[in-house]
C-alpha cells in the first residue's frame, strides 16, 4: 500500500485532519531544506510537499515565486530536489509529494524521472500545469513506479473535467480553495467547501485543500469539510523573513506546530 | 470556436479591418532595395501602415470581438515593446472595454512612449517587477490575473503561443497578411514568390504571412530571429533556433501549434534538429533550420554538433509518451517548410 494511502487511512481512524506543509527545495539552501523537512515531520506534518523551483511559476503568488528565484540563484535543479528527498528518507517516514511545473521534469526527462523519484523516496508527484488531457502516459509511467499522480482541481473546474481528473488521480485530490494563485488570504471562501463536495461525488479519494491557508483557524476550518489542509506561502514567507538566521529551522518547526495546535 | 464558423462574425471583423484598421495593406515593390541587394525582386508587405503601426491590430480586433461576444467587460494583455499593448488598448477603447496591460519593468523603461500612448487610450499599465522584468514575466503576471478574474476578464494574447486555442486564433486572425500577399503578388507578377521572409518574435506575423503559403512547396519560408551579440545565453533574443523542446505551461500548446497547418505526422528525426542549451522555456514550430547559405560559419558549425543528452532524452520521450500523433510540437508539415536564420551582429 502506498505511504499516502496508509497515512490517510491512519488519519481517518484517528478522526484527525491532515497537515501538509509546502517548502521550496533549495530555499534558502539545500542543506537547510533537508533540516526543514526533518523538522516539519517532527512538528506533525502528515505529508510534505517539496517544491521544485521554476522560473515561470504561473500558478504561484509572489511569495513562492521569490522562493523559486532564490533557489534558482543557488542553481537548484530537479536532481537536487530528489537528492534532498533521498538524504532525508533515512530520517523520516512522512510521505513526500514532489510539487513541480512540467518543464523542469521534461528537461530532466520524463522517462528517467519516475524511477529516479521512486529511488529518492518520493511518494507522489503533483505537476501543476499538466492538464489531464495530456497526462495519461505521464500518469501511467508514475504508476508503474508506484508513484501517486496528484491532480489539482479548482472551483472553475467543470463536473465533466472533475470526473476525468478523478479517474486519473491517485493518493489524494488537491482542491484549490479559490480561483487564483497561491498566497495568503484573510478569509476562506465558500468555494472550497462546495468544490470538495463536488469532488466527493465523483471520487472516493481523500481531498486536501490548499491555496491561501495561513492560520490555525483556517486549517481547522478546512478540516471540517476536507481530509487535509496544505499550507505553503505562509511557511515560505517565514523562511524568507528569517533567511540564513541560525534559528530558522527551529522557528519553522514552532510555526508548523502552532498551525496544527489544538486549542 | 463557435465564432469560427459564424459568417456574421467574420463579416463584422472584415468590415472593421477595412474601415478601422486600414486593410488591405499594399504590397510594395522595393526597387531601390532590389537594386541594392542585387538579387531577388523584393516586395514589402506594408503592415506598418495599419492603424497603431503594426500587424498586431489584426489579432487585437478579432479577439476583442470575441471578448465582447463572450460578455467579458475587462480585457488584459501582455506587451513587450508595447505594440501589442497599444493595439489592445486601442481596440478596447473602440469597444468600450476596460483594459489592463502587463509590462515588464525593463520594457516600461525602454518603451516609455508606448506606455504613454496606452495610458492615453485609457488603459492601466501595470509594471511587472518579477523575474527578468520583461515580456515573459508580463505574460506570467497576466496569466495570474486571468486565473483570478476569469469570470469577467478576457486575456487578449498577442503572440502565437500560450494555451490552445490561442495560437490557433492568432494564426486565423493574422493569416489575412498572407492571403492578401498571395493575391497581390500573383496579380503583380503572375507567379508565387521564391521565398517569404518574416521576422520572428512571438511568431504572430510569421505565421500570418506563412500560413496561406504552406501548401506551396516551391515557396521557401524563412523566419529571422534577433541574434544579438552571439548565441550564448543572454546575448541574443532568439528563442526558437535552439530546437530544444520545452513545455509552455498546462496547455494543449503542442496541439495548438500543430493546428497551424492541421497536419500531424510522424516524429522528426533528431539528427535534423541540432540541439543547443535552451535559452527559453518556450518552443515553437519554427525551430527547424536549413543550412544552405554560405557565409554563416557559426551556424554551420553548430549544425554539425551532436544533439546533447538532454535533447535526446526529450526526443525519446516524445516518441513514447504523449500521444504525439496529435500533439507534435514540431509539426513536420510546417516546420520542414520553414528555415530559421539567426541574424548575429558581429561583435
ipTM here: 0.82
Q: What span, in angstroms and rounded, lies between the C-alpha atoms of B225 and B212?
A: 21
Query: How far is CA B167 from each of CA A13, B160, B254, B255, B281, rounded to the nearest angstrom?
Result: 50, 4, 10, 10, 16
Residue B316 and residue A130: Cβ atoms within 8 Å? no
Q: Which of A253, A185, A181 is nearest to A222 (CA)?
A: A185
Distance from CA of A133 to the nearest CA of B (A): 8
A110·B246 Cβ contact <8 A? no
Residue B24 has what pLDDT?
Answer: 97
Q: Look at residue B300 in the predicted model and tell me its pLDDT.
A: 31
Give dist(CA B105, CA B76) in Å, integer.
17
> How many interchain CB pairs under 8 A, A with B?
83
pLDDT of residue A195: 96
> Are A106 and B246 in contact (CB < 8 Å)?
yes
- Residues of chain A with pLDDT > 90, as a percent, come to 88
B17: closest CA among B215, B172, B186? B172
Distance from CA of B151 to the nearest CA of A (A): 9
- Report the greatest alpha carbon distance in chain B: 56
pLDDT in tens, A118-143: 999 999 999 999 989 889 999 999 99
Nearest to A65 by CA among A232, A256, A194: A232
Across chain A, mean pLDDT equals 94
Please answer yes or no on whether A56 and B281 come within 8 Å at the CB atom.
Answer: yes
Sign of torsion, CA B296 B299 B303 B305? positive
Which residues of B have a CB under 8 Å from any CB of A?
130-131, 136-137, 140, 143-144, 147-151, 245-252, 278, 281, 310, 313-314, 316-317, 320-323, 327
Which chain B residues touch A130 with a CB distance below 8 Å?
Answer: 250
Residue B226 is predicted with a pLDDT of 77
Of A107, A128, A131, the CB nearest to B310: A107
Yes or no, beta carbons of B321 and A111 under 8 Å apart = yes
DSSP one-letter string for B7-71: HHHHHHHHHHIIIII-PSPPEEE-HHHHHHHTSSPPEEE-GGGSGGGSTHHHHHHHHHHHHHHTT
pLDDT tens-digit profile, chain B (347 residues): 678 889 999 999 999 999 999 999 999 999 999 999 998 999 999 999 999 999 999 999 999 999 999 999 999 999 998 999 999 999 999 999 999 999 999 999 999 999 999 999 999 999 999 888 888 889 999 999 999 999 999 999 999 888 888 999 999 999 999 999 999 999 999 999 999 999 988 899 999 999 999 999 999 999 888 776 666 666 655 555 555 555 443 233 333 333 333 222 222 223 333 333 333 333 333 333 322 223 333 333 333 333 333 333 333 333 323 322 233 333 434 444 555 444 444 33
Tell me if residue A46 is catalytic: no
Q: How far is CA B114 from the centre of its chain?
A: 20
The enclosing H or E element of B206 equals helix B204-210
Kindly determine whether residue B317 and residue A138, on different chains, have CB atoms separated by under 8 Å: no
Catalytic-role residue among A34, A46, A60, A148: A60
Q: Answer yes or no: do A107 and B314 touch at CB < 8 A.
A: yes
Q: Which residue of B has its CA nearest to A103?
A: B247
Q: How far apart are CA B201 and CA B139, in angstroms?
A: 14
Through-space distance between the first and last CA atoms of chain A, rounded to whole angstroms? 33
- Render pLDDT for A68-124 as a digit per residue (tens, 0 to 9): 999 999 999 999 999 999 999 999 999 999 999 999 999 999 899 999 999 999 999
| A49 catalytic per annotation | yes
Amino acid at each position: 500500500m502506498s505511504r499516502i494511502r496508509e497515512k490517510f487511512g491512519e488519519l481517518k481512524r484517528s478522526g484527525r485532519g491532515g497537515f501538509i506543509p509546502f517548502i521550496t527545495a533549495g530555499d534558502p539552501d539545500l542543506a537547510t531544506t533537508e533540516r526543514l523537512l526533518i523538522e516539519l515531520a517532527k512538528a506533525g506534518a502528515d505529508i510534505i510537499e517539496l517544491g521544485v523551483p521554476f522560473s515561470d511559476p504561473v500558478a504561484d503568488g509572489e511569495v513562492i515565486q521569490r522562493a523559486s528565484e532564490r533557489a534558482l540563484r543557488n542553481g537548484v535543479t530537479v536532481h537536487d530536489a530528489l537528492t534532498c528527498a533521498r538524504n532525508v528518507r533515512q530520517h523520516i517516514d512522512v510521505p513526500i509529494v514532489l510539487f513541480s511545473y512540467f518543464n523542469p521534469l521534461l528537461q530532466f526527462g520524463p522517462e528517467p524521472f519516475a524511477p529516479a523519484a521512486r529511488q529518492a523516496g518520493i511518494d507522489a508527484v503533483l505537476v501543476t500545469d499538466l492538464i489531464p488531457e495530456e497526462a495519461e502516459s505521464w500518469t501511467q509511467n508514475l504508476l508503474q513506479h508506484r508513484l501517486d499522480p496528484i491532480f489539482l482541481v479548482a472551483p472553475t473546474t467543470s463536473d465533466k473535467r472533475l470526473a476525468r481528473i478523478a479517474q486519473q488521480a491517485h493518493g489524494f485530490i488537491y482542491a484549490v480553495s479559490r480561483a487564483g494563485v497561491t498566497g495568503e488570504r484573510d478569509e476562506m471562501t465558500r468555494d472550497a467547501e462546495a468544490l470538495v463536495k463536488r469532488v466527493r461525488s465523483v471520487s472516493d479519494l481523500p481531498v486536501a485543500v490548499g491555496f491561501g491557508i495561513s492560520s490555525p483557524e483556517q486549517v481547522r476550518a478546512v478540516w471540517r469539510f476536507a481530509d487535509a489542509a496544505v499550507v505553503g506561502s505562509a511557511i515560505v514567507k517565514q523562511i524568507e523573513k528569517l533567511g540564513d538566521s541560525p534559528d530558522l529551522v527551529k522557528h519553522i518547526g514552532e510555526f508548523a506546530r502552532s498551525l496544527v495546535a489544538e486549542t | 470556436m463557435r465564432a469560427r464558423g459564424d459568417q456574421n462574425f467574420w463579416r463584422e471583423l472584415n468590415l472593421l479591418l477595412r474601415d478601422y484598421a486600414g486593410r488591405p495593406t499594399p504590397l510594395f515593390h522595393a526597387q531601390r532595395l532590389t537594386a541594392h541587394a542585387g538579387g531577388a525582386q523584393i516586395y514589402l508587405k506594408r503592415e506598418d501602415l495599419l492603424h497603431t503601426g503594426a500587424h498586431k491590430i489584426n489579432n487585437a480586433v478579432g479577439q476583442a470581438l470575441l471578448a465582447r461576444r463572450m460578455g467579458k467587460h475587462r480585457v488584459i494583455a501582455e506587451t513587450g515593446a508595447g505594440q501589442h499593448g497599444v493595439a489592445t488598448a486601442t481596440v478596447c477603447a473602440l469597444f468600450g472595454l476596460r483594459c489592463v496591460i502587463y509590462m515588464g519593468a525593463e520594457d516600461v523603461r525602454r518603451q516609455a512612449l508606448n506606455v504613454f500612448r496606452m495610458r492615453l487610450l485609457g488603459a492601466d499599465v501595470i509594471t511587472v517587477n518579477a523575474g527578468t522584468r520583461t515580456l515573459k514575466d508580463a505574460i506570467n503576471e497576466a496569466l495570474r490575473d486571468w486565473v483570478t478574474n476569469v469570470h469577467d476578464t478576457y486575456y487578449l494574447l498577442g503572440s502565437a503561443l500560450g494555451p490552445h486555442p490561442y495560437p490557433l486564433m492568432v494564426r486565423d486572425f493574422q493569416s489575412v497578411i498572407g492571403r492578401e500577399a498571395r493575391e497581390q503578388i500573383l496579380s503583380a507578377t503572375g507567379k508565387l514568390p521564391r521565398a517569404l521572409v518574416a521576422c520572428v518574435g512571438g511568431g504572430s506575423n510569421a505565421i500570418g504571412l506563412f500560413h496561406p503559403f504552406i501548401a506551396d512547396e516551391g515557396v521557401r519560408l524563412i523566419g529571422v530571429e534577433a541574434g544579438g551579440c552571439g548565441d550564448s545565453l543572454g546575448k541574443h533574443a532568439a528563442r526558437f533556433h535552439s530546437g530544444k523542446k520545452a513545455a509552455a505551461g498546462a496547455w494543449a500548446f503542442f496541439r495548438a501549434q500543430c493546428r497551424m497547418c492541421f497536419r500531424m505526422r510522424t516524429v522528426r528525426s533528431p539528427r535534423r534538429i541540432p540541439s543547443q542549451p535552451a535559452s527559453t522555456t518556450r518552443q515553437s514550430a519554427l525551430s527547424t533550420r536549413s543550412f544552405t547559405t554560405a557565409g554563416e560559419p557559426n551556424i554551420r558549425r553548430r549544425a554539425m554538433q551532436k544533439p546533447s543528452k538532454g535533447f535526446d532524452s526529450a526526443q525519446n520521450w516524445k516518441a513514447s509518451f504523449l500521444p504525439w500523433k496529435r500533439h507534435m510540437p514540431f509539426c513536420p508539415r510546417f516546420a520542414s517548410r520553414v528555415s530559421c536564420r539567426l541574424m548575429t551582429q558581429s561583435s
